Amino acid sequence: MNSFFQDIIHNLIAFQQDKPLLFTHLFFWIFFSFVLFGYSFLYKFNKARTIYLLLVSFFFYYKTSGVFLLLLLFTICSDYIWGKCISSSKKIWKKKLFVAISVCLNLFLLGYFKYAYFFTESANQIFGTHIKFFNHFSHFSNSFFSTSFSVDKLILPVGISFFTFQSLSYIIDLYREKIKPVNNIFEYGFFVCFFPHLVAGPIVKAHEFLYQINLPYKLYRSEFGMAIFWVLNGLAKKVLADYIGVNFVDRIFENPNYYSGIEVVLGTLGYSLQIYADFSGYTDIAIGVALLLGFRLKTNFNSPYKAQSTSEFWQRWHISLSSWLKEYLYIPLGGNRQGSLASYLCITLIGSVFILLSGALWLFWLIPAVGFVFGVLMYFFASFKKTIHTNINIMITMLLGGLWHGSSWLFMIWGGLNGLGLVIHKLWQKIVPNNRSENPAVKFFWMLLTLLFISFTRIWFRSDDLETVANLFDRIQNHLGLYLTLKIMASYQKVLWVIAGGYFIHWLPERFKNMYRTWFSKSPIPVLSMAVVLLVFLLYQAMSADMQPFIYFQF
């Protein structure tokens, strides 16, 4: 009997790599129930609740990532110290120095854990060397914590891209004097690792969140109902995403040669809905859970497939990342006014990544040659120079956004195509100003065109390698199989109806969505309770045997 209870306690407390703490697992909601119970005694005392939620967040991240909690702790301690140095310094050059040190440390850690293996392999390919990759962090973990990580592989800490960007926002906002320094390291740690948004966003900027830490707890009755709505809405989206992925999308992208071109097209549109439902489902749950604890996170998705242009799409999709890149990268580089020295340094960096990705030494000569030609054209042709200057930062932002997702040609191409789409739309606006129409048919045409373009770029985002991309396009170009359309629709009628229903709900007018959200949030507690029980029962029936990890956990 003692052994039985010891096993239960071990499973509850110990990190299990194959069982991360996910919003879709029953254990999370048991965990959250205990969190709320403890919180009910502390919520009126700001310092106590901050420390309590900080410890809860550490446990949450430990259950999700194990020993990588040390990396999170290092980021918190390091940037708290650099933040203190920035706020206490009187001379601007010292402030800039401390900002530079913090940014370099954060980017070094992010770069090591996301790109070190890639750089080693690329260098071997270019220079014909045989350097073996050695994971120093895994070796350290194995030596001191008896883990069994492979030292010749790189393991990506869950959420590193998210909490690194959040920590950087504090350092930069502090330097810009948009915020005051936090009172203590507990507040800073809580800001960085508040568990609802820790591993997959939304990315929280310092000037949008820190002030909430010292506000008294407040949760209106309608907000409580809305929090429950967002949690249930997110869970429903996740079930929808998994159903589409397991029963349709994953099969096509894993073995494209087994499917016709029309199936590939439908699968690509299905993936656009899948990744939206998966990612926005996570952030819906995060927003709801945070709201129950008295903290307001900003909307991360605003019906992105209602967008009528690529520019509008990126104002509606992953808003926290888009706005972070705009505020801390795009505008500092010069925005749409002109390219800066930093812009061309970024282009040099991206060019170097191109060389490493290709593994081709001859690109060392080609890329500088192309840069020289562009420089000559910009010198002699003012209009060409203006076009480059006003669009270069868009391309840089989207290319670096692609690299943020991972070190491969696939993400670079995906980012570049989206950057190109933004540039083309910007030029189109100059040619045809005020081209917005209130005609429903015209609006639907532009909305559908934008969705098709975004889905087209996601072929690179979703594929495992360039060979898969080539096979997918081969099926579309040479094996479209339009004559099979009715047969395909009959064979996949259940999942296609689910996809169609998902898009239909997505395209519902916002006023209608606000109406049923408000009705739900203001319903009496017994009605809310019945709705929760009924929806949880239905979701349990619809769930796949093993819920899939959220897609953005890999970034």
What is the CB-side half-sphere exposure of residue 82 using CA atoms within 13 A? 27
The string of pLDDT tens digits covering residues 194-237 is 999 988 778 899 999 999 999 999 999 889 999 999 999 999 99
3-class state of residue 22 by DSSP: coil
3-class state of residue 385 by DSSP: helix
Which residues, other chains included, contact 273 with Cβ-Cβ below 8 Å and sequence gap of 6+? 240, 241, 244, 499, 502, 503, 506
Strand ranges in 315-462 using DSSP code E only, listed in sequence order? none
d(CA 313, CA 447): 10
Spatial contact of 65 and 19, defined as CB atoms under 8 Å apart = no
Strand ranges in 239-325 using DSSP code E only, listed in sequence order? none
Q: Which letter does DSSP use for residue 408 in this model? A: S
pLDDT given at position 98 = 93
Tokens representing residue 122 in the block = 């690329």
d(CA 489, CA 94): 65
Q: Which letter does DSSP use for residue 201 in this model? A: -
d(CA 435, CA 429): 7
d(CA 109, CA 75): 9
The string of pLDDT tens digits covering residues 168-178 is 999 999 999 89
Supply the residues annotated as catalytic. 405
Tokens representing residue 45 in the block = 């005392």
Spatial contact of 271 and 455, defined as CB atoms under 8 Å apart = yes
Q: Which residues of the chain have pLDDT under 70?
A: 1-19, 339, 357-364, 434-437, 539, 541-555
pLDDT given at position 1 = 47
3-class state of residue 177 by DSSP: coil
pLDDT given at position 335 = 74
pLDDT given at position 18 = 62
pLDDT given at position 387 = 73
Spatial contact of 323 and 233, defined as CB atoms under 8 Å apart = no
Amino acid at 219: L
d(CA 14, CA 20): 11
Give yes or no for a cis peptide into 181 (omega within 30° of 0). Answer: no
